Amino acid sequence: MYAKQRREEIFKLTKDRQFISVTELSKRFGVSEVTIRTDLRKLEEIGKVDRNYGGATVRDSSMLPFSERALLLDDVKKAIAHKAAALIKSGQSIFLDASTTTLYLAYLANDIDNLNIISNSIPVFEQLKEYRKGTLIGIPGTLNPVTQSFVGPFAEEMISKLRANLAFISPRGIIHEGLREQIMLEATLRKRMIDAADEVIVLADHSKFDTPNALLSIDSFDSISTVITDREPPHEFQPIFKSKGIRLLIAETQEETT
């Protein structure tokens, strides 16, 4: 097992257990405790866990600054963004929500002609500030400094006056009932984008599935047309997607293709 894969598994175990010890991880993966401590230090550096005496606890990534959240599962998010970009056609209008995955999609959108790109995300604006092949439309509102996005009544009202072909939504979590978020204003704004789009495409890496700590509902699966992720979702999601007619696309990471 590569170190990167082991660290992802360590993070998943820590998230499931809330706390896990160095000794248990060492036995589970058949490596030294020194190696495990190095893994935990790397995970702490990118904001996934907090090291404690003898082990680690999972960190609440929702409260990390946007720049730090962008580092989590970086390669996976890029792969998902590439898969999503292939679905965009010249001449379309698209919503990009304020997420780290759609930030990578914004970078790729620079190469697509004649788009109307609508977003409430400051990092997306920064990525597209020299986009001259189409139009960039900013959604005004109240700044959320954690997500670096504009939210609130002004933002929601503007979205309600618009219509887009596609909405790219990256929720904080996905459970059996649908898409979830941890911040009320972010949940409401994403719901407005969903309602104002002809087609809704969900971008969600494997860590987003079965996340009960994402307390607030964005929407059910009824409005979703496509889910793009990097692994097969837990088996219990398969019949849900099938019954709702949701297309599932798996994005391959570079590590998987070598």
Whichever domain contains 186, its CATH number is 3.40.50.10470
- Residue ending a domain, among 30, 59, 88, is 59
Q: Could you tell me if 31 and 150 lie in one domain?
A: no
Q: Could you tell me if 102 and 29 lie in one domain?
A: no
- How many domains is the chain built from? 2
Confidence band of 258 (pLDDT split at 50, 70, 90): very low
pLDDT in tens, 146-162: 888 999 999 999 999 99
pTM of structure: 0.74
DSSP annotation of 145 reads T
Q: What percentage of the chain carries pLDDT values higher than 70?
A: 89
Confidence band of 249 (pLDDT split at 50, 70, 90): very high
Phi, psi of 20 (to 5 degrees): -145, 145
Q: Between the CA of residue 168 and those of 39, 83, 252, what are the distances in Å?
A: 33, 12, 19
Phi, psi of 192 (to 5 degrees): -60, -40
Q: Could you tell me if 17 and 119 lie in one domain?
A: no
- Residue ending a domain, among 59, 85, 107, is 59
Mean pLDDT across 132-137: 95
| Domain of 84, in residue numbers | 68-257
pLDDT in tens, 31-81: 999 999 999 988 887 767 878 778 887 765 544 454 444 444 578 889 999
Alpha-carbon distance 51 to 21, whole Å?
10
Look up the CATH number of the domain holding residue 41: 1.10.10.10
Average pLDDT, the chain: 88
